[in-house]
Amino acid sequence: MVTVEQATEKDMGLVRLMAEQVFPATYREILTPEQCGYMMEMMYSADSLCRQLADGHVYFIGRYDGEPCGYFSVERQGEHLFHLQKIYVLPSFQGRHIGGTLFDEAVRYIKSIHPEPCTMELNVNRFNKALRFYEHKGMRKLREGDFPIGNGYYMNDYIMGIEI
């Protein structure tokens, strides 16, 4: 059984540990090892995670029978716009429909703090296999772009959205 709980600052070490497993596994066929390392530090260093929390990102940790299995974060970006910043399931837990549970929990969280109609968006690499998952969950491609992230690297993403 999957349970999901909101993370606190003390949980950010666990988020980083999970990211160290899932991020390279997710992007090894898409990004160079150098870009993957750069992005890990950019998004998952202790300073970065604390800054994200201070900036309003809300993190959640999924547990499968009590064992950490994945995480997601949501950021409000406007009156009726939310961004699913991160959603990952550890490789050893993939194939158990945990991603769907985490996605549904993100939607439920947004509805709990914003009961009016709104949009949830996310960025997904154009070559990421997760693209089909997001389409299955009802998201559609809204736009695409090559977004500079520093050090000469780009995120080559679709921005997908769903009305909730």
Neighbouring CB atoms inside 10 A of 125's CB total: 16
pTM above 0.85, yes or no: yes
> Would you list the domain boundaries of the chain?
2-163
pLDDT, tens digit (0-9, with 9 covering 90-100), for 95-132? 999 999 999 999 999 999 999 999 999 999 999 999 99
2-163 in CATH: which number?
3.40.630.30
CA dihedral 56, 92, 19, 127 (to 10 degrees): -90
Is the four-CA dihedral 34, 37, 39, 42 of positive or negative sign?
negative
pLDDT, tens digit (0-9, with 9 covering 90-100), for 6-57? 999 999 999 999 999 999 999 999 999 999 999 999 999 999 999 999 999 9
pLDDT of residue 81: 98
pLDDT of residue 111: 98
pLDDT, tens digit (0-9, with 9 covering 90-100), for 54-86? 999 999 999 999 999 999 999 999 999 999 999
pLDDT of residue 162: 98
